[in-house]
Each structure stands twice: as C-alpha cells, then as structure tokens.
Amino acid sequence: MAEQPSSLPRGREHVVCTEDEIPPGTHKVFPIGRHGVGVYNVNGAFYAIANYCPHEGGPLCTGRVHGRSVVSDAPGGASVIRDGEFVYCPWHQWGFEIATGTTAVKPEWSIRTYPVRVLDHKVIVTA
Amino acid sequence: MRTAVIRVNLNPAGDLPDDQLAAAVEDLKSSGLEVIAPDFGQVPAHSREIELLLPGEDTAALSAWAADRCARALGAPGPVAGAATFLSRGTDEDALGVVSAFGLTATVERAWNNDQEIVTITIPRADARRVPESRLHTALEAALNAEVRLLYA
Amino acid sequence: MTTLESRLQAPAAKKVPVRVVDSDVHPVPKPGVIAEYVPEPIRSKYLLSHPHGDTINYDAPDYAHAKAMRVDAFTPDGGFPGSDPELAFRQLIIEAGSDIGILEPGGRTHFIPEVTTAYKHAMNVWQDKHWLDSQANWHERWRGSICAGIEDPQGAAREIEEWAGHPYMAQVLINAEPRPAWGDPRYDPVWAAAVRHGLPVSCHLSRGYHEELPMPPVGFPSYNHDFMVTYSLLAANQVMSMVFDGLFERFPTLKIILVEHAFSWILPLMWRMDAIYSARKGDMPEIRRKPSDYVKDHIKFTTQPLDYPEDKLELTRAFEWMEADKILMFSSDYPHWTFDDPRWLVKHLPESMRDAVMHANGIETYVTVPTHVTALDGKAFVY
C-alpha cells in the first residue's frame, strides 16, 4: 500500500486495507481524523471507531477487547456475554460498544464511529 | 438528525424460548429497522437485550415506541427499554448534542488547516464558570475526532 | 537512532521554564534487581525465602490483565509498567507533558524495622543506579525519593544522611501506617535529619500488612473502595498528630507532603482543628499557631485522585475555600490505572491557581527541582 499522509482527507471513502489484513478478533489503526481511527473485525463484521476516549483522552484502540459482564447463574454469579464486542480504554478501563461507540453507563458520551464496508475484499472507511 | 441507540430487554422475566426471540429480531430487521442483537444462546435468560438504531432526539418517546414495537414483534408483552445513547458521525448536530448533555447551549464553527479540521465551540460567557472544561473538551474531541477549541463569548 | 544517540549528537539546547512538576510517578525495579542491593543475611533470610505471590487485595477493572496499571504502559517485551525509564519518559514527559517527575517507589516493608531499612536502602541504590544515573536521566527530568523506614528512626536518619545532597533526590519518602503517629518524639531523628538538609518528607498512601492494614473503625470493609476512606482517615490522624503533638513547633522548617491521600477532607478538618484550638489553647501552650496556619505552611497534598462533583462550580468553590493554591501540587500517578493526564487536570483548577499547583509549589517544596529545564523536541504542551 502507498504510504498514508498524516491524516486522510475528509468527506470521502478511503480504502484502508484489504479484508485479510484484519482477521476476525483483530484491529488496525489508521491515520484518519485528529486521533486516528481503529478498524475492528468483530466476528466478520467491520466497524470503525475514533482512537480517543471521552474520559481523559486516552488511546482507546490500544485497549483490550472483550465482552461485558452480566449477573447470571454461573459459578461466581456473573458471566461474560458478547465477547469481542467491547473495547476498554487502556487508562481507566471505560468500556465502549465498538458498533456504536457508546456505553449504557454514561449516555452523555459518544465516540465518533464511521461507516465501513467491504467491496472486492477491500475495507472502505467513510471519513 | 441524530441517531439514538435504544436498548430493549426483550424478556426481563427470562421465560421465552430463544427461537421466539430470534423470530422477533428477524421481524424487526425485515421491517427495515437497524438492529444490533447478540446470539441469545450465549446470554443469560434475563439479559436478552437488543439495540435499535432510530433517528431522533426524544429518547423518552423513542424508548416507548421501541418497547411497544418489540412487544408486537414478539407477540407478547414484557419488553422494557433501557439506557439510550446517541451515535456520533462527527456532525454539528452530534457536537451540539454532546454540549446539551452538559446542560449547555453553544454554536459550532468549522475551519480547516491543511487537512486538519478545527471545530470551534462557542459557549455563552455567562456559563463560563460552571463549564467543566476538561470533561466537555474530551467528550467533544471523542465525538468529532477533530481538534476542538472552546470559546466563551 | 535511539533517543540517547540523537541527544548526544544535538547541539546544546535552549532552556524553557518548568510548567508542570508531577508529584507522583511510580518506577518499578526489574525482576531480581533489588535483591542485588539487599545485604546478606537479610537477603536470603527474608527477601528470597518468600516467593512473592500476588498480595494485592484490590479489584481494579480487568485486574487479571491490567494489574491495576495503564494497559499501554506495559513494555513491548511484557515488562511491568514503570520498569523502563525510557518508556516512562516517552509516555509521561513527552506525550503527557509533565516537565519534572518525582519518583515515588513502592516496595515492601517488614515487621522487623531493620529489615525494612535494608529494603529501603536497596530502593535508594536502585534509583541512583537505574533511574537517576546519567544514562537513564540524560534528560534530567526524573527526581528520586530517599526511601526511609520511619519505624527504625536511627536507620532512617542514617539513610537520609547518606543520600542528602544527591543531585537528583528531591525528598524523603516514608510510610504512614507504623504506630504511633508521627507526632511522637521517637521519630524526631528522622525529622531532624530531613530539616538539616532542607528535604521535605513525603508519604505515599500504602497498605501495611497484618495489623498495619489501615482498618476502618467498624471492621473489615465490604469493598476495596472503602479503603479510600481509611487512607484519608489515616492521613487525617497524622495531620492531627503533627499539629497537636507540636511537630511543627519542634521543627519549624519541616515540610510534609501527603501523596494520593485525597485532599478535600482537609477543609472541614481545618475548621474542626481551629475550633478545638480556639477552645483549648490554654491547655496546650506549646502550640502557638492556629492549626490551619500550620497546615497551609507545612503540609502539601497532591491532586490525584481528584474528587470532582458534577457541578464544576462546587469544585471551584471548594478550591477557593481551602486556599488550594497554598496546599496542592499536581500529580499524575503514572503508570497506575488511576492516572490523571496533566492537560485534563489543569482545566479543573481555577485559572489563578494553575501556576501554583502545576509547578510553583513543587519548585518551592522539593529540593533539586529547577525553574528551567532543557527544551525537548515534540514534548506536549500542557498549559
């Protein structure tokens, strides 16, 4: 791929990589916007989210991806559901749904998400 | 127009079979609604929550509509709406929505410095002292993924 | 080219004013390093004889993976956050923008005071050789702490004498859990050694072991966060002792720093102490000043963790009432998960207080912290 400029121009579709460069359960960060954009492959579906946490500005996309805990009958009284669908900021562990960039526990926040589609095995982000 | 994310627990009592829930989700999707739904087999019975992405700002009205629509899809009463959040695509409306969540009003202006966008949010000077500037700033930069400058005037 | 190589090749750089003094940075020894600096027989008998399990009773989010740290602060080869001076420099000084980082090493204690002193000595040797040496501290932004075991006053005083005058040791660092409280005269050799060299004495919050765990008055708490209360209570008790046991009359130049004990509790405590003093000063003639004056002249608190209510005006007013510009110093707590970024923190402070809290109080309180430092390329601007 050609070297990316410091930030991809706005209002356009950008081919960021090929589909197989982001296998399921992985992500890559691209230089879009002020803080970059993380493109995630969640069980075959692609999502794109700004690499910035609304809490104190931490680098969201360097955080761990895992599920969400809910009360259940499992030993210990809790289970993890929707594994792979949430990203947790590496600084203070605020967790956000990758698909929507939001969290039910703090509705005022909304991390910018970007439309992503795959065409001819190319991953395209609209910035 | 902002897009709200309305969470609905389809079956708080946890007494409906998985396939009935899956059929309800199919019904919602095939009617043109944008739905985020997990694999219910992996989720405890009382936590079977889906999300509807709906255009609008009035979360109370949207939540009521969503709960009702889910009940119709299920063919059974019981769905309860939960927390409502908003998507951000980085538009002016999204920025103003973030500002309003802090109990403030503002105006939005955009400028470009080469390929870097700068968004200036101007808040009435009378509100300056009570604005939690750091928190507003980080919330806005997350919603816009652009440089945000706060002004008081 | 490494940062060190590029720096050696650069011409002499200009000086810029220090804008941010960060009062709480946690370096961590790499595995096996501290053992080298603990003498025998203590090393084999106490340090190495007990394989170190995970003694922390602390349920930070995602603890099994994050270990209560910033996840992005683990080194690329899996080293613990705070174990690599270069990574810490890049993340804290360059990317977050702190100008000076005051190192507050943790490290273990032991119920035998002399063993604690041996451990503290090893921590000082380690800082000197691995964080404050000309290689790790090429940028001259780190300042270390002379770790001292308060429960062994003679040993602590010896340690202070040994390291006083070190070009990069900014303060003495002690623990708060040993009994009795600091106002007891048995600790006088420690304060005497500190003031002899103009060194402030700092205490970072800590858990002791066994009976020294800061226990709430109502017994074992239900949740870890209950300890947030007892840390502040422990500090409040130490403040009461320092004031009413006359510590600042015996040592009029002594400066004390309470790190990560929160601070919003000091305002009602000052009200209460002043009321007690006003009613009872006839009974304590050796206490010659109002307690709140002692606090404002002798004791500093750090900003992290910042308690902030939803309404910013409440916080602003609280800062104004407690004269926060006299008693607060900025701290980040890098690399813990409770890290406060200086650019985020500064905007919570009333504008008129920013210089005092972000750097002026630190420059005045610590030893060896300069007013200007060599400029660094690419360093983040804080305010």
CA–CA separation, A61 and C120 (whole Å): 38
Contact assessment for residue C331 and residue C301, using Cβ atoms and an 8 Å cutoff: no
Task: State residue C141 phi and psi, 5-degree precision.
Answer: -105, -15
Residue A13: band (very low, low, confident or very high) from pLDDT cuts 50, 70, 90: very high
CA–CA separation, B92 and C253 (whole Å): 56
CA–CA separation, C171 and C175 (whole Å): 13
Is the residue at C7 inside a domain? no
B49 to chain A, minimum CA–CA distance in Å?
A: 11
> Residue C51 corresponds to which tokens in the numbers above?
């394989």
> Residue C75 corresponds to which tokens in the numbers above?
């080194």
Q: Does B118 touch chain A (CB under 8 A)?
A: no
Q: Does A98 touch chain B (CB under 8 A)?
A: no
Decide: helix, strand or coil at residue C261. Answer: coil
Amino acid in the structure at residue C109: T
Q: Does C209 touch chain B (CB under 8 A)?
A: no
> How many domains would you assign to chain C?
1
Q: Please, which residues bridge with residue A102 across strands?
A: A97
Half-sphere exposure of C322 (CA within 13 A, CB side): 22
Does 3.30.450 match the CATH number of domain B3-86? Answer: no
Res. B66: pLDDT tops 80: yes
**Contact residues, chain A, for C341 at CB < 8 Å:** 56-58
Whether residue B132 and residue C316 make contact (CB cut-off 8 A), yes or no, is no
Q: Does C313 touch chain B (CB under 8 A)?
A: yes
Contact assessment for residue A28 and residue A47, using Cβ atoms and an 8 Å cutoff: no
Q: What is the pLDDT of residue B123?
A: 95
Q: What is the pLDDT of residue C21?
A: 98
CA–CA separation, B17 and A98 (whole Å): 28
User: If you search the block for the tokens 């809910």, which residue do you land on?
Assistant: A70
Residue A84, sorted as left (phi over 0), alpha (psi -120 to 50) or beta, turns out to be: left
C339 to chain B, minimum CA–CA distance in Å?
A: 15
Whether residue C70 and residue A66 make contact (CB cut-off 8 A), yes or no, is no
> Residue A16 corresponds to which tokens in the numbers above?
């960021």
Residue A9: band (very low, low, confident or very high) from pLDDT cuts 50, 70, 90: low
Angle at C173 between CA C169 and CA C177, to 5 degrees: 175
CATH number at residue C291: 3.20.20.140
Which subunits sit against B, judged by 3+ Cβ pairs under 8 A?
A, C
Q: Does A120 touch chain C (CB under 8 A)?
A: no
Who contacts B45 (Cβ-Cβ below 8 Å, separation ≥6)? B11, B14, B15
Q: Among partner residues B7, B51, B98, which is closest to A110 by beta-carbon distance?
A: B98
- β-sheet with A37-42: strand ranges across: A27-30, A37-42, A45-50, A113-114
Contact assessment for residue C166 and residue C128, using Cβ atoms and an 8 Å cutoff: yes
- Where do the structural domains in chain B lie, given as residue ranges? 3-86, 92-152
Q: Does C339 touch chain A (CB under 8 A)?
A: yes
pTM tops 0.80, yes or no: yes
Percentage of chain A with pLDDT > 90?
A: 83
Decide: helix, strand or coil at residue A39. Answer: strand
C79 to chain B, minimum CA–CA distance in Å?
A: 30
Contact assessment for residue C380 and residue C338, using Cβ atoms and an 8 Å cutoff: no
Render pLDDT for A61-73 as a digit per residue (tens, 0 to 9): 999 999 999 988 8
Query: Number of residue pairs across A and C with CB atoms under 8 Å?
Result: 41
CA–CA separation, C295 and C256 (whole Å): 9
Half-sphere exposure of C54 (CA within 13 A, CB side): 7
In tens digits, chain C (383 residues) has pLDDT values of: 555 555 555 556 799 999 999 999 999 999 889 999 999 999 999 888 866 655 556 778 898 899 999 999 999 999 999 999 999 999 999 999 999 999 999 888 888 999 999 999 999 999 999 999 999 999 999 999 999 999 999 999 999 999 999 999 999 999 888 889 999 999 999 999 999 999 999 999 887 767 777 778 888 877 777 778 888 999 999 999 999 999 999 999 999 999 999 999 999 999 999 999 999 999 999 899 999 999 999 999 999 989 888 888 889 999 999 999 999 999 999 999 999 999 999 999 999 999 999 999 999 999 999 999 999 999 999 99
> Residue A116 corresponds to which tokens in the numbers above?
């992503």
Whether residue A91 and residue C60 make contact (CB cut-off 8 A), yes or no, is no
Assembly ipTM: 0.93
Who contacts C45 (Cβ-Cβ below 8 Å, separation ≥6)? none
Angle at C186 between CA C185 and CA C191, to 5 degrees: 75
- β-sheet with B3-9: strand ranges across: B34-36, B49-55, B3-9, B80-86
- The string over C220-251, giving b where at least 16 C-beta atoms fall within 10 Å of a residue's C-beta and e elsewhere, is eeeeeeebbebbbbbbbebbbbbbbbbbbeeb
Structural domain harbouring C128: 13-374
CA–CA separation, C231 and C223 (whole Å): 14
CA–CA separation, C181 and C241 (whole Å): 6
Percentage of chain A with pLDDT > 70?
A: 92
* Chain B from 20 to 39: CB within 8 A of any C CB: none
CB count in 10 Å sphere of residue B17 = 11
Cα–Cα nearest to C167, from C146, C150, C148, C149: C146
Residue of C nearest to A67 (CA): C62
- Domains of chain A with CATH codes: 13-126 (2.102.10.10)
C377 to chain A, minimum CA–CA distance in Å?
A: 19
Q: Among partner residues B47, B82, B142, which is closest to A104 by beta-carbon distance?
A: B82
**Contact residues, chain A, for B87 at CB < 8 Å:** 100-102, 110, 113
CA–CA separation, B132 and B137 (whole Å): 9
Domains B3-86 and B92-152 agree in fold:
no
What average pLDDT does range B115-140 have in this prediction? 91
Residue A44, sorted as left (phi over 0), alpha (psi -120 to 50) or beta, turns out to be: left
What average pLDDT does range B78-83 have in this prediction? 96
Whether residue B147 and residue A70 make contact (CB cut-off 8 A), yes or no, is no
**Contact residues, chain A, for C344 at CB < 8 Å:** 56-57
Q: What is the DSSP letter of A21?
A: G
CATH top-level class for B92-152?
alpha beta
Tell me the CA end-to-end span of chain C in Å, nearest whole number: 30
**Contact residues, chain B, for A56 at CB < 8 Å:** 134, 138
* Chain A from 55 to 74: CB within 8 A of any C CB: 56-59, 62-64, 66
User: If you search the block for the tokens 């429960």, which residue do you land on?
Assistant: C151
Ranking B63-77, B136-150, C35-49, C149-163 by mean pLDDT, the lowest is C35-49
Who contacts B70 (Cβ-Cβ below 8 Å, separation ≥6)? B8, B10, B24, B28, B50, B52, B79
Is the residue at C3 inside a domain? no
